[in-house]
Chains A and B, each alone.
Chain A
């Protein structure tokens, strides 16, 4: 419990620090006043608007005010759309979270199944073939996998229509159906990485002394893998999967672009190009929170799955 409390304090400090740094970074370049007024900017008008928006006050005050509002769900007003940022971000956040979680579930289920299948294989030829295929799949970046899947399942087999996103309100089944292939293209690189990891870890474990002892007691390879090696080999894979949840969010930004899913990544990119910094700031802080919380959870489950680790309790 002490461990959890210590981690939690660390987490809160990181969140405050990171959000403050991001806030400052966007204040340095993010003076939107001239852009908002456009051609009719006179020095008086600029000064007046700066006063209205409160840009003349010290950074610390503005940060505290912004953070307070943020916690209450008020993320400010978008410069270019003149809409509350929370109204723009929160519906899209749901889509991205759904996509990431789908990809995560797929990764966990498929990588453990495929990994266990390969580890328990009896035939070295099939094992070698799987390793080669895995190595090739691992080299395909997620965005190219997305394009390949669009081509194969969208244009050849017509399992989904590329570019015709179905929202959850229209039809939940259609929504999850449309997200299936995007989620798969986020999951595939992670699956191949974790399968490879499980395979090589099991190989390493099998060379260790306790396995040799098991063999000397008359155990065959299958049983040694099942009862001994797997227990040790699967621990790093599970923690890899937990940490990869954070990276999947980054792949989401790219994959949403390919499958034209109106998620948070697309909103972020379009806000970056229109230099709409209140939106970018809100999204960045949400993404950062996501990453920090996911890493916190990963840290917490680590001692649970590996009883050998007692982290400074």
Chain B
């Protein structure tokens, strides 16, 4: 902790601060929010920010602050799952491709290239169009689309590490390929994988928010930042610009915290190498 406070890596410091703040708010939101996020107060529709409703109320008289807190939680959870799928499967595929090499490697990497050539949101929209939307669908579709970027990173690391002495030694000692992959190489590429995972998380948040903004994200009965922003958009003209502003602010903070964190970690890792 002291080391972080003292370091001159402002990216890391700001990133930890913002992400930590959001995490605490999400955690509190799991147990307590100012109002029930679904409670509709018919008497207080589209009210501006006040002491009773710090962020104001939406068109149904629901408290925006409570909904933003829960929506951030939803977005965070969904992006976390997306990222987890991408990271785990990507690491497996990348490790297998990088360790084995040859035709197998070529084939997997060509497929990854083909997938990454297309924008995530566009592909996800098409797949969702085929299979229908739903909480789980959005998670696995985006999760699969996140696999190639991780697979590439892990593969290039494995290709590098494969020829290192410690791997050769392990091979000589008769360690099985699985043991070499998981026990010997994986812990060594952890420092490269961590910043990549944070940046991937950031992209997952953006993708999830875009999808639910387009109305194909998580189901409508859960508050989600993208969907709320979409709803808020129709009240810009109607005189409730704070609705969009607060929801947008939450997305910006989430994205900013994660991108700063990712960059900070990357800088830290580069510094470690020097």
Contacts and interface: CB of A to CB of B under 8 A. Distances in A.
Contacts of A162: 236-237
B121 interface: yes
A147 B233 contact: yes
Interface string B196-220: 0000000000100110011110000
Interface residues of B, number: 35
Contact of B256 (A135, A143, A292): A135
A253 B122 contact: yes
B9 to A, nearest CB: 14
The interface residues of chain B, by DSSP majority, are classed as helix
Interface stretch (B91-99, B125-133, B150-158): B125-133
Given A147-B233, A147-B248, A253-B125, A246 B130 contact: no
A249 B119 CA distance: 8
Contacts, number: 93
Interface string A98-114: 00000000000000000
B122 A249 contact: yes
Contacts of A144: 229, 248, 251-252
Interface in A210-252: 246-247, 249-250
Nearest to A268: B125
Contacts of B213: 143, 254, 257
A28 B129 CA distance: 12
A246 B134 CA distance: 27
A59 interface: no
A150 B210 CA distance: 18
Interface in B103-147: 114, 117-122, 125-126, 128-131
A25 B127 CA distance: 9
A281 to B, nearest CB: 9
A148 B252 contact: no
Contact of A254 (B117, B118, B214, B236): B214
A147 B226 CA distance: 12
A14 B114 CA distance: 8
A37 interface: no
Most chain B CB neighbours (cut-off 10 Å) among A29, A136, A254:
A254
A195 B118 CA distance: 23
A197 B118 CA distance: 21
A151 B238 CA distance: 11
B65 interface: no
A280 B244 CA distance: 30
Q: How large is the interface on A (under 10, 10 to 19, 20 to 34, 35 or more residues)?
A: 35 or more
Contacts of A143: 209-210, 213, 226, 229
Given A143-B229, A147-B244, A280 B129 contact: yes
A114 to B, nearest CB: 19
A140 B244 CA distance: 13
B252 A140 contact: yes
A288 interface: yes
Interface in A246-298: 246-247, 249-250, 253-254, 257-258, 268-269, 272-273, 280, 284, 287-288, 291-292, 295
Contact of B233 (A138, A141, A258): A258
Given A141-B206, A141-B255, A253-B125, A247 B236 contact: no
B229 A147 contact: yes
Contacts of A171: none
A186 B87 CA distance: 29
Given A147-B244, A148-B248, A22 B214 contact: no
A135 B236 contact: no
Nearest to B117: A295
A292 B117 CA distance: 8
Contacts of B57: none
A151 B255 contact: no
A139 B118 contact: no
A121 interface: no
Given A143-B210, A287-B122, A25 B130 contact: yes
A253 B118 CA distance: 14
A138 B114 CA distance: 27
Interface in A120-167: 135-136, 138-141, 143-144, 147-148, 150-151, 155, 162
Interface of B: 114, 117-122, 125-126, 128-131, 206, 209-210, 213-216, 226, 229, 232-233, 236-237, 241, 244, 248, 251-252, 255-256, 259-260
Interface of A: 14, 18, 22, 25-26, 28-29, 135-136, 138-141, 143-144, 147-148, 150-151, 155, 162, 246-247, 249-250, 253-254, 257-258, 268-269, 272-273, 280, 284, 287-288, 291-292, 295
Given A141-B252, A147-B248, A272-B129, 12 more contacts: A26-B130, A29-B130, A136-B252, A136-B256, A139-B259, A143-B209, A162-B236, A257-B214, A269-B215, A273-B215, A284-B126, A287-B122
10 contacts: A141-B255, A151-B244, A155-B236, A162-B237, A250-B122, A254-B121, A254-B210, A257-B214, A268-B125, A280-B126
* In the A-B complex, the 4 residue pairs with the closest CB atoms: A250-B119, A139-B256, A272-B129, A144-B248
